[in-house]
Amino acid sequence: MKGEVLDGRALLMADDDTVATALEDLEAGDRLADADPPLTVSEEIPFGHKVALTDIEAGERVRKYGEVVGEASESIARGEWVHTHNCESLRGRGDRAAVEREGGESA
């Protein structure tokens, strides 16, 4: 299997990823000692969802699977749940891709 399993509970696919995928429900206070550096989960994170491995500033790109999968819509602290409430998907966003190609800003 590609990637690295952190404490048997989260999957990190690439070294430069800013999030890992929960392999089971994670609870606030759970510790991922295999993360570098180790981290404490700060809130409930459902199975299959993302946990922030780094602090991610608003507007910063979110990386998963070695790819950009979204952009933080607000600042996200290390250990927090990353989902639609704080991350906007960039996949399938032809409107944003066109604006970026033209060197402009999206609305």
| pLDDT tens digits along 1-57 | 579 999 999 999 999 999 999 999 999 999 999 999 999 999 999 999 999 999 999
Task: Write the CATH number for 47.
Answer: 2.30.130.110
When divided into structural domains, the chain yields a total of 1
CB burial readout 21-56, b (16+ within 10 A) else e: bbeeebeeebebebbeeebebbeebeeeebbbbbeb
Look at residue 107 and tell me if it is in a domain: no
| pLDDT tens digits along 76-96 | 999 999 999 999 998 765 555
Domain region containing 97: 4-101
Look at residue 106 and tell me if it is in a domain: no
